[in-house]
Chain A
Amino acid sequence: MSEPLLDVANLRVRFPSPGGPVEVVRGVSFTLGRERLGIVGESGSGKSLTGRSILRLIRPPGIVTADRLRFSDIDLLRAGEWQMRRIRGARISMVMQDPKFSLNPVMTVGEQIGEALAVHKRLPRGQMRRRVLDMLEAVQIRDPERVFGLYPHEVSGGMGQRVMIAMMLIPEPAILIADEPTSALDVSVQGEVLKLMNDLITRKGMGLIFISHDLHLVSQFCDRILVMYRGRIVEECAAGELDRASHPYTRGLIAAVPRIDETREELPVLDRGAWEEAGA
């Protein structure tokens, strides 16, 4: 693999609580090249916080520490707030879960996508509009001229998520962090949105961090998978080799998902005590 885009070593995120600080991400290390990396875990496993700490989006009182948090040649831990603002969106961007809550309700779709570009690059008005329309077309919105002038409440969930993706990709970042980008969407639209993301990512040679709770989906979509449990990476494997996963948690997760030709009378439930005591 070439020089990694992102290098994370021993990342920790702590929050204070009445009973002393709680460590939510506990020593996560990984590198990301020009590939699709999936981070899978259940709620509370720390997967979203891992994604957010890369962009330094964890606010006080949360504390982020790491031995290394580098993006190409920039040390993200030492970068000033001013420098971070130039990285966010332009070099590393993030697609959130629910378009309903992440788009500005009082700005038209076109203005919002344009703004994402304007923050990082000055362009004449006409050229800007052209770029936005091209981007809307790239995310397969059929009538870009019309959608340009719509407000977020006037578009469907699937279209809203495409708008988000357009907004995140228009500054042509090197890394896209997608935090459950499709879980608010209908199964039928999910496939389209993923395919689209995949096309744009491979065409531009970007790195993708795909955060999801859906093991099955991640194994189909990504190249490499990290399984997180309670703030730690418990397993790392190539996506195609998920069925050979060895950690009991990963195996438990796989077994707990019903299959379409399901004949088991009862689904196996995770026995958390079994490996936690072993200190995994």
Chain B
Amino acid sequence: MTSAISLRGVSVSYGETPVVEDLSLEIAEGECFGLVGESGSGKSTLLRAITGLAPDWTGGISLFGQARGKSIDRRFSALCQMVFQDPYGSLHPRQTVDAALSEPLTIHGIAGADTKVPAMMAACGLDPRFRFRLPHQLSGGQRQRVAIARALMLSPRILLLDEPTSALDVSVQAEILNLLKRLRREQKLTYILVTHDLPVVSFLCDRLAVMRQGRVVEVADVAALRANTMTHPYSREMVARSERRV
């Protein structure tokens, strides 16, 4: 199986503060890989480094064998897109759904927005009548669908998901998780899913890494999470906390 994302000795810092330290991971094509850990463990920062939003990193990041540079690179934008946590904050408040979904195409000089936008909306379960609405006219779940549709407009092969459902109600979360699962199957996508919600990992992912203070403490199969047979004490503590929270 080809490696979709290869991270070798990646360290990321914000100014003087190291956030991710010497992290290496290989993620196969078509895999869904979960990154879990508490706030400040560096999991979101790692995603930001992969997409190019946190340029202060060292080490090697390559996607499908192509090494990533520090600057914004259109080839990588077309290959790898990100979906953010908060659908209320990640959409431009004065941009209609149509404008949000057409913009990536315009930037990359791709024609045919007229047919591609409605097709993507349909694929993401958005009713065609939402096409010319503004974000404030949509519910949280619909907005997250728009954010996912926007990320998929350039037909990327990798989707980086930063807590895509933690701002949503459980019934809406179920819909979005089902959507992500279906899209991955239909479009043969590779996911990295950042979350602190272990059951979500169990539902969507194949493997997971537990992060703590910028380092990976354990990489395991989801089967180990389900059967509670992860080995590192910190991972076991996380599982125990997730089961019994009070």
CB-CB < 8 A to B245: which residues of A? 187, 190-191, 194, 216-217, 220
Which of A10-18, A125-133, A166-174, A258-266 forms contacts with chain B? A258-266
The majority secondary structure among interface residues of chain A is loop
A266 contacts B181, C-beta separation under 8 Å: yes
CB-CB < 8 A to B171: which residues of A? 42, 252-253, 256, 269-270
Output the least CB separation between B80 and chain A (Å): 26
Interface: A195 (CB within 8 A): yes
CB-CB < 8 A to B239: which residues of A? 260
Output the least CB separation between B204 and chain A (Å): 8
Instruction: Map CB proximity to A onto B230-246 as digits: 1 under 8 Å, 0 otherwise.
Output: 00000000010111111
Interface: B226 (CB within 8 A): yes
| Whole-angstrom CA separation of A261 from B222 in the bound complex | 9
B202 contacts A261, C-beta separation under 8 Å: yes
Residue among B200, B203, B242 with the most chain A CB within 10 A? B203
Output the least CB separation between B73 and chain A (Å): 33
CB-CB < 8 A to B1: which residues of A? none
CB-CB < 8 A to A266: which residues of B? 178, 181
B140 contacts A263, C-beta separation under 8 Å: no
Q: Which of chain B's residues has its CB closest to A213's CB?
A: B169
| Whole-angstrom CA separation of A256 from B171 in the bound complex | 6
B181 contacts A260, C-beta separation under 8 Å: no
CB-CB < 8 A to A259: which residues of B? 199, 202
Q: Which of chain B's residues has its CB closest to A198's CB?
A: B246
Output the least CB separation between A125 and chain B (Å): 37
CB within 8 A of B170: which of A213, A221, A263? A213
CB-CB < 8 A to B62: which residues of A? none
Interface: B26 (CB within 8 A): no
CB within 8 A of A42: which of B170, B181, B243, B246? B170
CB-CB < 8 A to B200: which residues of A? 258
Interface: B175 (CB within 8 A): yes
The majority secondary structure among interface residues of chain B is helix
Interface: B173 (CB within 8 A): yes
Interface: B39 (CB within 8 A): yes
With A213-B169, A259-B199 in contact, do A267 and B177 touch (Cβ < 8 Å)?
yes
Interfacial residues of chain A within 169-202, with CB under 8 A of chain B in the complex: 186-188, 190-191, 194-195, 198
CB-CB < 8 A to B246: which residues of A? 191, 194-195, 198, 217, 220-221
A261 contacts B244, C-beta separation under 8 Å: no
| Whole-angstrom CA separation of A81 from B145 in the bound complex | 45
CB-CB < 8 A to A198: which residues of B? 246
CB-CB < 8 A to B46: which residues of A? none
Interfacial residues of chain A within 132-152, with CB under 8 A of chain B in the complex: none
CB-CB < 8 A to A195: which residues of B? 246
A188 contacts B241, C-beta separation under 8 Å: yes
13 sample A-B contacts, Cβ–Cβ < 8 Å, listed by A number: A157-B39, A191-B241, A191-B245, A195-B246, A198-B246, A213-B169, A216-B245, A217-B245, A217-B246, A253-B171, A258-B177, A258-B200, A260-B243
Further pairs besides A188-B241, A260-B225: 11, Cβ < 8 Å: A42-B170, A42-B171, A43-B169, A188-B38, A220-B246, A256-B170, A260-B239, A260-B243, A261-B226, A267-B174, A269-B175
Residues of A within 8 A of B (CB): 42-43, 157, 186-188, 190-191, 194-195, 198, 213-217, 220-221, 252-253, 256-270
Pairs of residues from A and B, 9 with the lowest C-beta to C-beta distance, nearest first: A267-B174, A256-B174, A258-B199, A42-B169, A258-B203, A262-B202, A261-B226, A262-B203, A270-B171
Residues of B within 8 A of A (CB): 38-39, 140, 169-175, 177-178, 181, 196-200, 202-203, 225-228, 239, 241-246
